[in-house]
Amino acid sequence: MIRVATASHAYNVLFGHSFLREAFESLADITRTADRIFVLTDENVWKAQGDTFTAAFPLPFEVYVLPGGEACKSFDQYNACQTFLLQQRATRKSLIIAFGGGAVGDLSGFVAATFMRGIPFIQVPTTILAHDSAVGGKTAINHPLGKNMIGAFYQPQAVVYDIAFLKTLPEQEIRSGMTEVIKHALISDEAWLNELMSRSIYDYSDDELSHHLQKGTQVKANIVAEDETEQSVRKYLNLGHTYGHAIEAASGYGNLSHGESVMIGLIYCLLLSEQYGGVTREQTMSVYRYAQSQRYPFDAVAKFDFETLLSYMQKDKKAEYGELQFVLLSKIGEPYVQKVDVAQCQEVDVLLRQ
């Protein structure tokens, strides 16, 4: 169990395997006060894991099934959830359960944050990436003018991470989620990074996967405890995301997943960190070769020229006054924020393409 203690609220992240019933029985203090329970999920998750969820969940609930993945983070779907809750006569004492990946978690959290000015919710993540998104209280939907632009900081009452739900994840989602685990290792612990890279991401045993997810969650929990609203150290979680977001946006949020794009961004940041003496070429290459062996699509970079990526990087909401700011490493495990000029960004972009 990991305790997340933010300034606004403290809660537990429970880890286990096929332990949904047991986990929710242990959360009776939270569920006891709920007059009704509403499960928000998406169609892929519900198709793959709905029967297992229904068989194991110990309390009566109503379910609302959203379109799969990112499509659920829209105004229309947000509105549809609120309508569903109102028609079902949900009250301020009702409890929402977000059963799905980061998309369902972000949407459900925002629904919970705003329904009747805020009702409690519990995250039940079903992806690897969600070890990151389920903790920390960032909730959001997308706007046509930008991803995650409408949202709130709103912490869950608890997170129940049942590793058994991950069994049906498609390969691309394993890859996508493991990027954030590797990112957490890069900003915190070189020995753990080497441990992660000693095996294929597709071959971890349940115990190994659970161990890595707990370590990743702990890194995230420590950071959000110190800085809930991204005034300082929470920025470190953006390692790889400036360049990664640019690749993701340039690809039109199409074939490349978030984590695949961010893996390219992580290598970009390692190369940039080299320029400031933070990491060695050998360290960069060991992460790069490992990621290549795990089928991360580095060829994708060739599809976009630097100017296109630069324009996306300059639009990134984390760029202050058009300046390019990157999270870099002063060594593996030690992130810091660095302003970088465009010429140097381009130099490293050239290196990445070699």
Q: Which of 78, 100, 219, 260 binds ligand NAD (CB under 6 A)?
A: 100
How is residue 271 annotated by DSSP?
H
Q: Interface with ligand NAD includes 218 (CB under 6 A)?
A: no
Complex with ligand NAD: residue 73 or 184, whichever CB lies closer: 73
Q: For the segment 23-62, give every residue that binds ligand NAD (CB under 6 A).
A: 42, 44-45, 48-49
Candidate segments 164-172, 188-196, 269-277, 285-293, binder of ligand NAD by CB under 6 A: 164-172
| Binding status of residue 68 toward ligand NAD by CB under 6 A | yes
Residue 222 within binding range of ligand NAD, rule CB under 6 A: no
CB atoms inside a 10 Å sphere around CB 163: 18
CA distance 210 to 216: 10
Least Cβ distance, residue 253 to ligand NAD (angstroms): 10
The per-residue b/e assignment along 249-265, b for 16 or more CB within 10 angstroms, e otherwise, is bbbeeeebbbbbbbbbb
Q: How far is the CB of 293 from ligand NAD (least distance, A)?
A: 22
State which residue, 228 or 274, has the beta carbon closest to ligand NAD.
228
Chain positions 142 to 161 lying near ligand NAD, rule: CB under 6 A, are 148
Helix (H) or strand (E) holding 328: strand 325-331
- Asked if residue 38 lies in contact with residue 85, where contact means CB atoms within 8 angstroms, the answer is yes
Evaluate whether 274 touches 284 at the Cβ level (below 8 Å): yes
Instruction: Compute, in degrees rounded to 10, the torsion defined by CA atoms 106, 109, 111, 115.
Output: -160
Q: Does 69 bind ligand NAD (CB under 6 A)?
A: yes
- The binding track of 236-265 with respect to ligand NAD, each residue x by CB under 6 A or -, is ----------------------x-------
Is 105 annotated as contributing to ligand binding? yes
Cα angle: 319, vertex 148, 31; to 5 degrees: 135
**For residue 177, what are the CA distances in angstroms to 122, 166, 259, 321?**
20, 11, 6, 31
Considering beta carbons, is residue 102 or 240 the nearer one to ligand NAD?
A: 102
The reply on whether position 227 binds ligand NAD by CB under 6 A is no
Binding of ligand NAD at residue 102 (CB under 6 A)? yes
- With CB under 6 A as the contact rule, the residue among 81, 103, 112, 340 that binds ligand NAD is 103
Binding residue (CB under 6 A) for ligand NAD from 133, 242, 261, 325: 133
Cα-based distances in Å from 291 to 84, 143, 175, 331: 43, 32, 9, 19
Interaction of residue 129 with ligand NAD, rule CB under 6 A: yes
Q: Does 166 carry a binding-site annotation?
A: yes
328 binds ligand NAD (CB under 6 A): no
Closest listed residue to residue 244, CA positions, set 295, 197, 309, 288? 309
By C-beta, is 130 or 269 nearer to ligand NAD? 130
The alpha carbon of residue 150 and the mean position of all alpha carbons in its chain are separated, in whole angstroms, by 17
> Segment near ligand NAD (CB under 6 A), from 29-37, 100-108, 262-270, 285-293?
100-108
First to last CA, the chain: 44
Rg of the chain, C-alpha, whole Å: 20
CB of 342 to ligand NAD, least distance (A): 27
Binding positions for ligand NAD, rule: CB under 6 A: 42, 44-45, 48-49, 68-70, 73, 100-104, 106, 126-127, 129-130, 132-133, 136, 138, 148, 165-166, 168-169, 173, 176-177, 258
